[in-house]
Structure 1
Amino acid sequence: MGRPMGMNLIKAGYSLTVWNRTASRADELIAAGAQLAKSPQEVAAASDLLLTMVSDPPAIEEVLWGPGGAMQGLKRGSIYVDSSTVSPALARKIAAACAERGVRFLDAPVTGGDWGAKKGELVFMIGGDAETFREAEPILNVMGKKLFHLGPHGAGQTIKLAMNLILALQVDALAEALALVTRAGIQGEKLVEVMQSSMARSGVLDVKAPNLLKGEYVPSFPLRLMHKDLGLALDLANQLGVALPATAAARETYNYVKGAAKGDLDYSAVMKFWER
């Protein structure tokens, strides 16, 4: 998702310096006019606003605190926005480290998939200082259609995990329902047709139902990342003393499919659990 987000910034006239753990993934941005840095530290040192998006907590810790990490390059007075999906506790740790360097921080995970990133229609869920949010808002608006300032550091991550919990459960429930009706000898399309005319209809199921019916799971949001986010949600729930029985059960289903998968699949591939 970082590549289309960067392309939209370039199209909007912003000067962009980029780095990617897999250098070839930055080729399209370089061809469009971005400057390629040799390390996250070099990107941070060149930027008034640093934006990161990586796959998981270990990846962001490596980008920030590993060799050539961004944290040591951040300029006093600059803004750092992390759009990775990580734990609220890690977001607060990053915020504290930034504050020690005189850097302002926002945790700003997104939803909308790669298609939303390409269209500049992501939804940002933001935690941090209101003044910092207002200063970063014009840049974030280039990449997103909706910006929600939700509270202090960690609030964006908390809402993102809750959102992905809902999405994962909805798609898992549709897959389970399709398994039931098809085993009963009824075409899955008939269930979806009724669903779309009822209170059971939802945006995510409108998008994902064709995947389940066709058995085609080209990744828009990979199952491995949804599995990771369900784990983060359960970790947060344990810290807060909140039981999430449906989430725990769904994660086991996603876990089975993840373990059996060959290649990177969309999280709607949870349907494969019933194809055994």
Structure 2
Amino acid sequence: MFLFALVYTAGTVSGMYGRGFGFLTFAILLVILIAECVATKGSFSGVRCIVVLLILISSAVFATAQFRYTSVEENRDSYMQYMTDEKSVIVWGKIYKTEYKYFSYRYYMTDCVVQPGYGKAFGRKISCGDVVVYCDSKSAHLGDYMKACGKIGLFKSATNEGEFDRARFYRSQGIDFSVNADNIKTSAGKHAWYYHRLEKLRDTLLTSLLEVTDETTAGVLSSMLLGDKSYLDDEIKDLYQISGISHILAISGLHISIVGMAFYKLLRKR
């Protein structure tokens, strides 16, 4: 437990005050823990050897994660300085999530490559983070590879205290920017049929909810049961957030546990 507390504390300090302070905090706590293990009996023996070994392993993991994070951030900053609002680009990637919201389709792509400029002037291709593509019509499916031509839309940072910080939210998910697509081309990826079947099943269940109840109730039920917030009313969402129970609208570990226990009980009876 204290190993988790050690890494968590150092990571929190690193996020608030910079990586240098994070490393310093981690080193100080590490020295204190090792000194405590040695001072108890004056030597390494038994459980203390294991504890010190775990501490050293955790320190190696922490340092590796910090260096990897630093390299990823430096690489991101190197190409994001060239990505500006309304800049024409071509982006390639694999769709891992689809969503219909505010009368437009959203395609979340991973393993992305972006090429600034299209038409007569092409730039070099750059590997980037995840990208959200906005489109007026449903022209792609889950698991497909997409090539989208359009203009960049950068996410806005919060300008007032307490305001939702869209840029930080998407950055925490590894999403760099959005693209308002003018032209889209898709091709079926490997095992695309599997993703297509899952998407079709979700759409069928959502259609059934819309048939047996009104749109507002169907939006809440689809969020709880399918993880699809496409039809979730903004006022309903705000009410759940104000009440502090917005986690009910997400597919959480509790939902998975309930389904898993149901299968477990069924199999035990069989």
TM-score, structure 1 length as denominator?
A: 0.24
Could you say which structure has the greater relative contact order, defined with CA pairs below 8 angstroms and 6 or more residues apart?
1
Instruction: Please state which structure has a larger fraction of its residues in strand.
Output: 2
Identify the structure with the greater helix proportion. 1
